[in-house]
Structure 1
Amino acid sequence: MTKHAQKESQNDVAPSRDDHDHQPPAPLAHALTRLRALRAERAARARLHRELATYDTPAEIADLLAAVDRAEELPGAGEVRRILNRNLQDYYRSTTQRLAG
């Protein structure tokens, strides 16, 4: 191998990871940040569903709905109301099915 060929082959070596900035390109970084935020939101919603599922009688749900009505201006009040109303529907649906079955 000539000196020139040796020099070219040395230049063909891929740069090591230390040669790079370790930062993804801006669009990818933005997408990754958005994906992390979406996952965190999904986890928070799932946690809220689990916590509100423990209130499963009409009386318990009515008490919570009354509290949500008093705190309507708080963020997430609408989401809590939707979950509680769905829990109430599920309660009546399961009660009706038990009685019919």
Structure 2
Amino acid sequence: MEIGPSGDFVVTAGSKARVRTTRTIPRGTVTLRNTLVEKDVLREEGDFLVFTSAYSFTSASAAAAAVIGASANGRILWKLPDGRNYADWEASQGMSDCDSE
């Protein structure tokens, strides 16, 4: 996942999503996943759906729900390479902005 220039959440090409969904998946996410499969943005490969191209989501949670196939809090679930979650990273960005003023 990357953060796009307008603050959108971009799941990069080659990323994997769960094929199976849970009962908690929002209806809109089911519709979106089906649309992405129809448009070949998501392609079933074995036990996963694979993003064939990058796709931009409006929020971290929308991206996370589409990837895990369930209701999700993306601010907690998305992890940075250093192990911090997105919420922690976002909070640290706010602190560094204040320190530079």
Length-normalised TM-score, structure 1: 0.27
Structure number with the higher helix fraction is 1
Length-normalised TM-score, structure 2: 0.27
Larger RCO, structures 1/2 (Cα 8 Å, 6+ apart): 2
Structure index of larger Rg: 1
Structure number with the higher strand fraction is 2
